[in-house]
Amino acid sequence: MKGSMTWTYVVHLLGLTACALGVPQKQAYRVKETVDPPTGWVQYSPAPADHIIDLRIGLPQDKFELLEQALYEVSDPHHHRYGQHLSKEEVDELVAPHPKSMNAVDEWLASHGIDMNSLSRSSAKDWVMVKVPVNLAEKMLDTTYHVWKHVESGVSLVRTTTYSLPEHVHDHVDLVTPTTYFGPLKGMSTTFHWSDAQPAALSSNAPPIKSASGTAVDASCNSTITISCLQQLYNITGYNSSAINGNKIGITGYLEQYANIQDLQSFYQEQRPDALGSSFNYTSVNGGQNSQNLSEAGAEANLDVQFAFGLTHPTPAYFYSTGGQPPYDPDLKTTTDTNEPYAEWLDYILSHPNPPQTISTSYGDDEQTVPQSYAVRTCAGFAQLGARGVSLLVSSGDGGVGDNDANATTTICKTNDGRNATRFIPTYPATCPYVTSVGGTVSIPEVAVYFSGGGFSNYFPTPLYQLGAVTEYLGHLPLNSYSGLFNRFGRGFPDVSAQGDYFRVWIGGKPAHIGGTSASSPAFAGVVSLLNDARLSKGLPPLGFLNPMLYTKGVKGLTDITEGNNPGCGTEGFNATTGWDPITGLGTPNFGLLKEIVLS
């Protein structure tokens, strides 16, 4: 008995001494997140112990439900708060973590010897960022990191398939990255070919074609889309925007896609001569670059800036180049091996007091490759932008309902949750309910382009603003149609659509044709920016989050697309039909009608 008491005393004394010295105590851990190794990735080797990871820790946003409520109220044209967008400070206050969560996380980090001065925090303090070596991250998260290689692309990443947190920290952390995110972020340009056509070929002597909305469109627009084509097709001709009313438009760039200014001048000379000599404001986010070497001009970036800025000139234009996806190389000890750039870009744009009122992004992942915790968290960041009066448009994807193959005998549309079940593959962030997802059309009159991404989210439920439209569509769909292939209760996408093929751009000093919903999103964004221009010139606030308006009074300003389908996963996909559908959404814009609606 005496010996036992002495031993207990010694253990207790040692524990106190360890605490005094700051030595982390053995804590009870519980798994926070775990995934099956995703298809196409193989474990290559243990991650080097001294490899530096930019660890990001997401704390629960204490009053997000109030932020969401405010978002819908200020975005609903029938609500008395419509247009009364929140300030940066008001949004930060609603998403700031509870002090208990901040204290719990700070104490956990300190217990591992991390100096509080080495931390950085997001504007609302809901993200904590710290650089740590792999061996420390493994202790903190009770896990083992490996170098993983993607068989097809050869890209390597440092990742783990599971991580844990101490019991007392569990409820104070939403997620930690980089951990289980293997998503191959990609641009949405599905077709690309060089064109030797000279400027004279951009117009036709043939009789004009009448669009579905009744506007007359040059016959050449059936084979080559230009700024003039979009102006004619979407009833923009004759509208002049302002350079001084405070309106701005932004384009996001990822994956070392560089927007070339010389190419932009060639594009302007050919298609928007009054813009010749103007350019855009470039911002580097997380080390993003924008090389002006013509050989490094990015097809995606050039497409986005040329058409979005060409449609809206002289509106001040902004291009954000976000770094974050170089291949892992242990010899270089890279500290930015993560391909999770949405959070990086959100950190920057949410810290800015006056972001552009309209922003377009043409990048995305297969939803299932994005951990649900990360998708939910970054989607919440997009909600913050909407509440502050930003209209965020995103491409719906270029795989139809999955792989764009209607005749596949061995489809790649498989779940990566261990079941390997055949299922349609939605695209993130197009499935986020707080963005406006843009699908693609082609030809005049317009029909759905075959590659237009569309379907239903497996992460996010159908939002209230589109419940009626989605319910009506599903009500006309045979009950057993594609049974088990999609989630009938998920957020439907896209919301709207625009032309998505045969866009004539300049890349590397030469003209080319590009197709993809990466063309549709900046095209629709250009129309939205012009609507914001009209409102600001009348002393009205910007539109902000568009969807509650589009699914109500705004639908009368859209041209319904009723033909076409988006094949994939061994099926014909979904059909375009009267009303909303998961390939062209509510339809394409008629600027003249929309302008009347948003100014009324």
Q: Which two tokens stand for residue 405?
A: 């193959």
495 is in an annotated binding site: no
Cβ atoms within 10 Å of 78's Cβ, excluding its own: 9
Give the separation between CA 428 and CA 395, rounded to whole angstroms.
Answer: 9
Which residues, listed in sequence order, are joined to residue 363 by a DSSP beta bridge? 187
Distance of CA 118 to the CA centre of its chain: 29
Give the separation between CA 356 and CA 345, rounded to whole angstroms.
Answer: 14
561 is in an annotated binding site: yes
**462: Cβ contacts below 8 Å, ≥ 6 apart:** 456, 470, 489, 490, 491, 492
Give the separation between CA 442 and CA 498, rounded to whole angstroms.
Answer: 8
CA angle 553, 463, 441 (to 5 degrees): 65
Q: How far is CA 452 from CA 256, 324, 402, 497, in A?
A: 25, 27, 10, 9
Q: Which two tokens stand for residue 495?
A: 């919301």
Residue 565 DSSP one-character state:
B
Which among 217, 188, 600 has a CA at the least distance from the CA of 444?
217
On the question of a cis peptide bond just before residue 445, with omega within 30 degrees of 0, the verdict is yes
Q: How many residues does the chain have?
A: 600
- What is the side-by-side order of every strand in the sheet holding 120-121? 120-121, 127-133, 52-58, 175-177
Could you list the active site residues? 300, 304, 518
Half-sphere exposure of 299 (CA within 13 A, CB side): 19
263 is in an annotated binding site: no
Which residues, listed in sequence order, are joined to residue 150 by a DSSP beta bridge? 41
236 is in an annotated binding site: no
Tokens 């040692």 belong to residue? 14
Which among 92, 60, 61, 85 has a CA at the least distance from the CA of 71?
85
Name the residue type at position 217. V
Which residues, listed in sequence order, are joined to residue 58 by a DSSP beta bridge? 127, 175
* Greatest extent of the chain over all pairs of C-alpha atoms, in Å: 106
Residues within the annotated binding site?
Answer: 560-561, 579, 581
Residues within the annotated binding site for Ca(2+)?
Answer: 560-561, 579, 581
